């Protein structure tokens, strides 16, 4: 049988064809008016994407690189930072902070939950020396969502405390109103909802963050956002940009605009996520984040005594579809299905149909078609509600 290779992973995601075409064009030189025009246009588009009038810088690095850039530009060595940890990516903030000699405090929650904003407010009341709170919009290892709006309300009231959000997999899949909510720093990756290849990352800084960047003493060179801000205002990053990806970024942003803007992309992911959760319920696959689930991806436990790795393997070997397994504490215990980016209803129903076949092969008992039927019902309900 033909097996088209499909990625249902929360990054890299499926590429939009216009992105693919743009990335394959002949290379431009970056010190030209033509490139500067594309670069500026893309930077403007990213502001709309993140709903901010502040600077959004384009970096040639992975999402983790941009997390590091965010951290070293708002803290000085030895300063207190608070990381909210309920998954592998929360832990990454801890690791980066420690690597740079920060005084790292954590608030933890069981994987699958999000640390509640109330606990964060209490912690900051107890310890006003915390210079910044670090969190995810979407914790990709569990699919959980943090309430960024509530967290920003808390940090906004504290002049000495910034909010730094890793929205790498969350932006474009879940609501994020950077400026209106008062988020100080947002980090995004290219291979997520924007349906680009990996290699670019974006950092948005608000006024409080820029103030901090001027004073922060953490050693930095490539990730010195003060220099980048100046250089990029002229349409050129400080160092050689990932030229083809920047060209493709313009196409990705055009795709988002054509769809109806970032809200439409968020609604798309929300519908596909709701369909997947409904199917999981009908098929008896428990959600990893039943209470705090986000829409960028859905993390699922396998049913009964079935091995999650066997499901991941079956989808790949029999149908060419790649879903992600677990990370860190959940390694080998779950599967994760992406909704962020360039996925549609047909993709999702097709994946759920093949998941039903794999589950039947593995001996799981359920009424065949039940997952797809639940997804169809959820789709119809959501569309009727609009």
Binding site residues, a second copy, CB under 8 A: 1-4, 6, 24, 259, 264-265, 267-268, 271, 319-321, 342-354, 356-357, 360-361, 367-377, 379-380
Between 1 and 215, name the residue whose CB sits nearer to a second copy. Answer: 1
Q: How many residues does the chain have?
A: 386
Closest approach, Cβ 56 to a second copy, in A, equals 23
Between 290 and 368, name the residue whose CB sits nearer to a second copy. Answer: 368
Q: For residue 338, what are the contacts with CB-CB under 8 A and spacing of at least 6? A: 7, 8, 9, 10, 11, 13, 296, 297, 323, 324
Closest approach, Cβ 344 to a second copy, in A, equals 4
Between 261 and 368, name the residue whose CB sits nearer to a second copy. Answer: 368
Instruction: Tell me if residue 186 falls in helix, strand or coil.
Output: strand
Tokens representing residue 190 in the block: 């290219």
Between 240 and 383, name the residue whose CB sits nearer to a second copy. Answer: 383
Closest approach, Cβ 349 to a second copy, in A, equals 3
Closest approach, Cβ 353 to a second copy, in A, equals 3
Between 95 and 376, name the residue whose CB sits nearer to a second copy. Answer: 376
Closest approach, Cβ 371 to a second copy, in A, equals 8
CB atoms within 10 A of CB 134: 30
Closest approach, Cβ 245 to a second copy, in A, equals 19
Among 354, 340, 331, which residue's Cα sits nearest to residue 12?
340
Q: For residue 233, what are the contacts with CB-CB under 8 A and spacing of at least 6? A: 55
- At residue 108, φ and ψ (nearest 5 deg) are -110, 155
Sign of torsion over alpha carbons 13, 288, 293, 314: positive
CB atoms within 10 A of CB 113: 18
Between 122 and 258, name the residue whose CB sits nearer to a second copy. Answer: 258
Q: At 118, which helix (H) or strand (E)?
A: helix 117-126
CB atoms within 10 A of CB 99: 11
Half-sphere exposure of 35 (CA within 13 A, CB side): 17
Closest approach, Cβ 311 to a second copy, in A, equals 15
Between 292 and 356, name the residue whose CB sits nearer to a second copy. Answer: 356
């Amino acid at each position: 049988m033909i097996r088209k290779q499909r990625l249902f992973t929360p990054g890299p995601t499926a590429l939009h064809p216009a992105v693919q075409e743009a990335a394959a064009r002949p290379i431009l030189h970056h010190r030209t008016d033509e490139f500067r025009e594309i670069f500026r246009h893309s930077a403007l588009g990213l502001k709309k994407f993140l709903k901010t009038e502040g600077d959004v810088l384009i970096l040639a690095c992975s999402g983790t690189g941009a997390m590091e850039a965010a951290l070293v530009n708002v803290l000085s060595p030895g300063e207190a930072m608070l990381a909210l940890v309920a998954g592998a990516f929360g832990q990454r903030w801890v690791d980066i902070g420690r690597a740079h000699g920060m005084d790292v405090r954590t608030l933890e929650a069981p994987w699958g939950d999000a640390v509640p904003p109330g606990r964060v407010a209490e912690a900051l009341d107890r310890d006003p020396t915390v210079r910044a709170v670090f969190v995810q919009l979407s914790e990709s290892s569990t699919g959980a969502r943090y309430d960024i709006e509530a967290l920003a309300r808390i940090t906004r009231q504290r002049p000495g405390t910034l909010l730094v959000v890793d929205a790498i997999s969350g932006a474009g899949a879940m609501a994020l109103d950077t400026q209106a909510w008062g988020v100080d720093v947002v980090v995004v990756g290219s291979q997520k909802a924007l349906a680009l290849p990996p290699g670019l990352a974006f950092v948005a800084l608000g006024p409080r963050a820029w103030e901090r960047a001027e004073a922060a003493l953490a050693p930095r060179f490539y990730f010195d956002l003060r220099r980048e801000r100046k250089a990029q205002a002229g349409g050129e990053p400080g160092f050689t940009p990932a030229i083809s990806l920047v060209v493709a970024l313009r196409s990705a942003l055009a795709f988002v605009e054509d769809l109806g803007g970032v809200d439409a992309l968020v609604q798309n992911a929300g519908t596909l996520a709701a369909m997947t959760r409904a199917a999981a319920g009908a098929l008896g696959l428990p959600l990893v984040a039943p209470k705090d689930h986000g829409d960028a991806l859905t993390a699922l436990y396998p049913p009964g005594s079935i091995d999650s790795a066997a499901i991941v393997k079956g989808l790949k070997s029999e149908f060419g579809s790649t879903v992600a397994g677990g990370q860190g504490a959940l390694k080998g215990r779950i599967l994760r299905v992406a909704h962020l980016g360039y996925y549609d209803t047909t993709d999702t129903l097709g994946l759920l149909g093949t998941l039903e076949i794999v589950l039947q092969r593995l001996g799981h008992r359920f009424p065949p078609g039940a997952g797809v039927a639940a997804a169809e019902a959820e789709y119809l309900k959501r569309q009727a509600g609009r």
